[in-house]
Chain A
Amino acid sequence: MTAFGREEDRSVTTGPIAAAKRVRRRGLFDTEPMVRVLLIEDDPAVAEGLAIGLRRQGHATDVRHTGEDGLAGVAAFDPDLIVLDLMLPGIDGFEVCRRIRRAGNLPVIMLTARNEDMDVVLGLEAGADDYVVKPVQARVLEARIRAVLRRTESAAPAGRREVHGELTLDRTALTVLKAGRPIALAPSELRLLLALSASPGQVFSRGQLLESVWEHPYLGDSRLVDACVKRLRIKIEEPDRPARYIQTVRGFGYRFGPL
């Protein structure tokens, strides 16, 4: 790593950069594109360790230590992705996540010190796309970041629009319309919808979806899938009616349709 790279990364860490100035850069050691990561973590040592690790992967980082500060950082730093600790002084991670979701569809990876079931469930319901459990190696976090971001980078042929009932999917522009109105979907929700709708009527097990959408192990935490399906249904299904698009196949998993 060059002295220049270090200097610039440090400046990113210490002072927010205006969104307008943002330019895509590449990591110094690998060929993956650089990612702007906003790290919201109250423990200074953990924050610094993660920031060092992320910078080593060639990412620009901004570290915030409280929920309020973190929300301010979303506007000021204009991140590509947020790594969010759940236990924060002031506004906690769940609330931060909900506010980020209300404002837009920034990918959120939650960081939990305790792999406690309620934390994970609540975090996923608040709209987090994925989670990692501390202590986490920078390499593992990097893999999760890549996986979450890959969801939004589809390589479908341009201009192809699919219509399923009231839903219109554009796999290139990555837009979803319901009855002509655009629906805001978080990256994991969009990726799940695209994965299921790619083969309407085919049943996908939770393990398969974990692998294809989250790049988790097949025998991973199926709550990721269930929570994401729940969030997706709220957005695309009619309330108080049986699910039409994302259907549960008891004992096997989920399928798209048949409509």
Chain B
Amino acid sequence: MTGPLARLRGLRVRLASACLLVAAFAALATAALTYREARTAMLQRAQDSVVRSVRDRVEAVAPSVPFPPDQAALERIVALVDTRGNTDHWIVAAGYRDLWATTDRVLTPDAIPTALRTTADEVTAFQRVEREGVIWLAVGVPVTFAKPLNGVLSGVQVYVLTPMRAQMQEEAALVRAARKGAIPAVLLALVLALVVAGGVLRPVRALQRATRRLAQGRLDTRLQVKGGDELADLARDFNHTAAALEQHEARLRTMEARARGFAADVSHELRTPLAAMAAVINVLDEDAAAEHLDPDTAAALRLVSAETGKLTRLVDDLMEISRFDAGAAALHVDELDVAEAVRRCLAARSWSGAVTTHLPEGIRAEVDPRRFDVVVANLVGNALRHGAPPVEVGLGTERRADGVWIVLRVADRGPGLAADTLHRVFERFYKADSARARSVGSGLGMAITLENVRLHDGHIRAANRSDGGAVFTVELPRYARIEVTEDA
């Protein structure tokens, strides 16, 4: 999960939405069912009471009406059934064949639904009709006459239309009540859903945090296992994995430390016999130069002397690398004039004439003088050996967000570095050209340079110049991360 968009599809949101949907559906369904039942019951009651009172009135009126009725009789029926004051807003109508009488002038037979008319020929029927935007209940009652038909259907129908205004208002109140109940219920459900989602997701989030810590290399990260659900199983699996990783890593580290320790031990063991040999190579050199020696003996002496010198440098470099590997290399910083330091480094090796320098004055930095010397000497030495003149050394400063940086560039005009070797030049014992496998260096010079730069919290890059030749760029922070060596 990264952006806010992705968050929208996050587990928490999905879980909460699901909970909310269920809650909303339940609330709405309950409200709808309750509303329907209540409405049906209410309407039923209202209809029953209207139907009953219409029938009662018609039964009370019918005996006094002659058969077959004429228009006047119908008018009387209508007038008798419509007892204003007793029931409000009734519209009463009576029909017999083509005759039609009504209390409301505009009510024509057409306004009575055909289905109701057909049914009301035989039994009492009712139907809801809409008229002028109001719901009316239309009740149709067939009139039977005792004489002369002996209770046979007379074909006379009485219709009563009564507006269902009160019922409509009650229904609206019901809807309002349902809405009033449903909305807080849904909101409450939303809160509950979020809480529940949070609860369910807490172990998931813990797992996520633990995984990130693990990815950062903190392999001792463990989760607290609670309960016995799937998430607890997952936490347990996570713990097992982390433990296995930790063990594995510890074993690898031990092996690596052993391998590095072995290299350190080997160089250390080599150093003592070498120390004895190194002490006497000057004696060999002097005697090899003497003329009384057999030429072969002199050559052998020179060979032993030269190779002892190389071996000494190699072991020195190996020891130096071992110290970096063991984390035993310490930085002893002093503030110095960088241009002066570069000049001194070149002068000490008699390189001043072979190198073009661009060294602005007044750049001071906190560096370890000895290590800085090693860095400059290795880079310039490398450029002089493998590149072609002129070798250029440039110095500058750069102001960045994290402070001022010293930038040192060592460039040559040689063939440059093959693209696939650019990132390998700092590897130990890496030789770009196998024909040059036996060079004067130990093969560790650039690796030591890299380590020295890193010890200063700096960076080093190898690149090719667009106009030919290789360029090495060293960037060192102007201020060292540790205190300047002061003993005041």
Which residues of B316-352 have CB atoms within 8 Å of chain A's CB atoms? Answer: 316, 319-320, 323, 328, 330, 332, 334-336, 341, 344-345, 348
Contact B348 A218 (CB under 8 A): yes
Contact B279 A53 (CB under 8 A): yes
Residue of B323, B344, B370 near A221 (CB, 8 A) is B370
Residue A135 interfacial (CB < 8 Å): yes
Residue B119 interfacial (CB < 8 Å): no
Residue B260 interfacial (CB < 8 Å): no
What does the 1/0 interface line of A129-170 toward B look like (CB < 8 Å)? Answer: 000011111110100000000000000000000000000000
Contact A251 B485 (CB under 8 A): no
Contact B348 A49 (CB under 8 A): no
Which residues of A51-66 have CB atoms within 8 Å of chain B's CB atoms? Answer: 52-53, 56
Question: For the complex, what is the distance from the CA of A205 to the CA of B276, rounded to whole Å?
Answer: 36
Residue A50 interfacial (CB < 8 Å): yes
Nearest A residue to B315 via CB reads A135
Chain B residues lying within 8 Å of A217, measured Cβ to Cβ, are 344, 348, 373
Residue A115 interfacial (CB < 8 Å): yes
Question: For the complex, what is the distance from the CA of A229 to the CA of B336, rounded to whole Å?
Answer: 18
Residue of A114, A115, A138 near B280 (CB, 8 A) is A138
Contact B277 A219 (CB under 8 A): no
Contact B484 A250 (CB under 8 A): yes
Chain A residues lying within 8 Å of B283, measured Cβ to Cβ, are 52-53, 56, 138
Residue B282 interfacial (CB < 8 Å): yes
Contact A229 B487 (CB under 8 A): yes
A218-B348, A219-B344, A243-B488 as given contacts; A252 in contact with B276, CB under 8 Å: no
Q: How far is the CB of B170 from chain A (nearest CB, A)?
A: 93
Which residues of A94-116 have CB atoms within 8 Å of chain B's CB atoms? Answer: 113-116
Contact A135 B275 (CB under 8 A): yes
Nearest B residue to A247 via CB reads B488
Binds B, one of A16-24, A40-48, A71-79: A40-48
Question: For the complex, what is the distance from the CA of A46 to the CA of B488, rounded to whole Å?
Answer: 39
Contact B487 A219 (CB under 8 A): no
Nearest B residue to A251 via CB reads B335
Residue B192 interfacial (CB < 8 Å): no
Question: For the complex, what is the distance from the CA of A43 to the CA of B271, rounded to whole Å?
Answer: 11
Q: How far is the CB of B290 from chain A (nearest CB, A)?
A: 11
Chain B residues lying within 8 Å of A221, measured Cβ to Cβ, are 332, 370
Contact A113 B268 (CB under 8 A): yes
Q: How far is the CB of A48 from chain B (nearest CB, A)?
A: 7
A135-B315, A219-B345, A219-B369 as given contacts; A248 in contact with B274, CB under 8 Å: no
Residue of A52, A113, A116, A207 near B275 (CB, 8 A) is A113
Question: For the complex, what is the distance from the CA of A206 to the CA of B370, rounded to whole Å?
Answer: 12
What does the 1/0 interface line of B411-431 toward A look like (CB < 8 Å)? Answer: 000000000000000000000
Residue of B273, B279, B312, B485 near A222 (CB, 8 A) is B485
Contact B344 A248 (CB under 8 A): no
Residue B73 interfacial (CB < 8 Å): no
Q: How far is the CB of A217 from chain B (nearest CB, A)?
A: 5
Question: For the complex, what is the distance from the CA of A47 to the CA of B480, rounded to whole Å?
Answer: 41
Q: How large is the interface on B (under 10, 10 to 19, 20 to 34, 35 or more residues)?
A: 35 or more
Contact A138 B279 (CB under 8 A): yes
Nearest B residue to A246 via CB reads B488
Contact B369 A113 (CB under 8 A): no
Which residues of B267-318 have CB atoms within 8 Å of chain A's CB atoms? Answer: 268, 271-283, 286, 312, 315-316
A135-B312, A223-B485, A229-B487 as given contacts; A56 in contact with B278, CB under 8 Å: no
A56-B283, A137-B279, A222-B334 as given contacts; A45 in contact with B348, CB under 8 Å: no
What does the 1/0 interface line of B254-271 toward A look like (CB < 8 Å)? Answer: 000000000000001001
Nearest A residue to B367 via CB reads A219
Chain B residues lying within 8 Å of A223, measured Cβ to Cβ, are 332, 485
Which residues of B349-374 have CB atoms within 8 Å of chain A's CB atoms? Answer: 364, 366, 369-370, 372-373
- Size of the A side of the interface (Cβ < 8 Å), in residues, is 42
Contact A115 B319 (CB under 8 A): yes
A115-B319, A134-B271, A251-B364 as given contacts; A46 in contact with B348, CB under 8 Å: no
Question: For the complex, what is the distance from the CA of A137 to the CA of B284, rounded to whole Å?
Answer: 11
Question: For the complex, what is the distance from the CA of A3 to the CA of B332, rounded to whole Å?
Answer: 49
Q: How far is the CB of B210 from chain A (nearest CB, A)?
A: 39
Residue of B277, B328, B366, B488 near A135 (CB, 8 A) is B277
Chain A residues lying within 8 Å of B344, measured Cβ to Cβ, are 207, 217-219
What does the 1/0 interface line of A209-229 toward B look like (CB < 8 Å)? Answer: 000000001111111001001
Question: For the complex, what is the distance from the CA of A253 to the CA of B268, rounded to whole Å?
Answer: 35
Most chain B Cβ neighbours within 10 Å, of A217, A230, A250: A217
Residue B230 interfacial (CB < 8 Å): no
Residue A8 interfacial (CB < 8 Å): no
Question: For the complex, what is the distance from the CA of A134 to the CA of B316, rounded to whole Å?
Answer: 9
Q: How far is the CB of B324 from chain A (nearest CB, A)?
A: 12
Residue B132 interfacial (CB < 8 Å): no
Residue A117 interfacial (CB < 8 Å): yes
Contact B282 A222 (CB under 8 A): no
Chain A residues lying within 8 Å of B316, measured Cβ to Cβ, are 133, 135
Contact B276 A49 (CB under 8 A): yes
Contact B279 A46 (CB under 8 A): yes
Chain A residues lying within 8 Å of B277, measured Cβ to Cβ, are 49, 135
Chain A residues lying within 8 Å of B276, measured Cβ to Cβ, are 43, 45-46, 48-50, 135
Chain B residues lying within 8 Å of A48, measured Cβ to Cβ, are 276
Chain B residues lying within 8 Å of A115, measured Cβ to Cβ, are 319-320, 323
Residue B433 interfacial (CB < 8 Å): no
A46-B272, A222-B369 as given contacts; A137 in contact with B484, CB under 8 Å: no
Q: Which 9 A-B pairs have the closest CB atoms?
A: A49-B279, A219-B373, A135-B278, A45-B276, A49-B276, A248-B488, A135-B275, A251-B335, A134-B275
Q: Given contacts A52-B279, A219-B341, A222-B369, could you give 7 more A-B pairs where the C-beta distance is less than 8 Å?
A: A45-B275, A48-B276, A135-B315, A138-B280, A218-B369, A223-B332, A251-B366
List 23 A-B residue pairs with CB atoms under 8 Å apart, sorted by A's residue number. A45-B275, A45-B276, A48-B276, A49-B275, A49-B278, A52-B283, A53-B280, A53-B282, A53-B283, A113-B268, A113-B272, A135-B276, A138-B281, A207-B341, A207-B344, A218-B344, A218-B348, A219-B348, A220-B373, A222-B370, A248-B488, A250-B486, A251-B366
- By a beta-carbon cutoff of 8 Å, the part of chain B in contact with chain A is 268, 271-283, 286, 312, 315-316, 319-320, 323, 328, 330, 332, 334-336, 341, 344-345, 348, 364, 366, 369-370, 372-373, 484-488
- By a beta-carbon cutoff of 8 Å, the part of chain A in contact with chain B is 43, 45-46, 48-50, 52-53, 56, 113-117, 133-139, 141, 205-207, 217-223, 226, 229-230, 242-243, 247-248, 250-252
